[in-house]
Structure 1
Amino acid sequence: MIEQVLEIGSVGKGISQGDTLFYAHASRNSSISKKILDGLQSGSDSLGSDNVKVKPAASSNPGVPPSSLMSFMRKNTSTSGVVLEDFDSQFSNRFYHSHLDSPANINSSSIAAAAALVARSLYILATGDMTVDLMTLNTIKVNVTLVEELIGCLLTCDPGLSCGIAKSFISPSNACPSHYVGVFQDSPSSTQFPSYADDTSRFIWNFLADRTSTLASNVSSCTVKCNNESEVCVGGEVEGGGRCVVSTTRYVPAYSTRLKFEDNAWHVLPANSSDPMGAADPVWTESYWNTISLRVYAVQSTTSDRLILLAGLAVTAASYLGVVVGRAYISKITKRD
Structure 2
Amino acid sequence: MAAKLLCAFLLVITQLRLSFSAPGEVNSLQSVPDLEKSMYIVVDGYPCVRLLNLSGQIGCSNPGPGKVVAPIIRFKFANKLVRSSTILVSLDEFNSLLLRVSNDSNFARNIAGVLVESRTQNELEGFSPDKKFPQAEFAPYASKNYQWNPTGSGIMWNSYNFPVFLLSQSSTSTLQQVAIKNEKNKKAYTADVAEFDLVMQTTKAGTRDSESCLKEATCLPLGGYSVWSALPPINILSPESSKPIILAIASMDSASFFRDKSLGADSPISGLISLMAAVDALSRVDGVNDLAKQLVFVVFTGEAWGYLGSRRFLLELDQRSDAVNGLNKSLIETVMEIGSVGKGFDQGVKTFFAHTTGVKHSSLVDLKASSATNESVTALQLAQDSLKTESIKISTANASNPGLPPSSLMAFLRKIKASSLAESSLGVI
The structure in which a higher percent of residues are strand is 2
Verify same fold: TM over 0.5: no
For CA contacts below 8 A with separation 6 or more, give which structure has more relative contact order: 2
TM-score by length of 2: 0.23
Q: Higher Cα Rg: structure 1 or 2?
A: 1
User: TM-score under structure 1 normalisation?
Assistant: 0.27
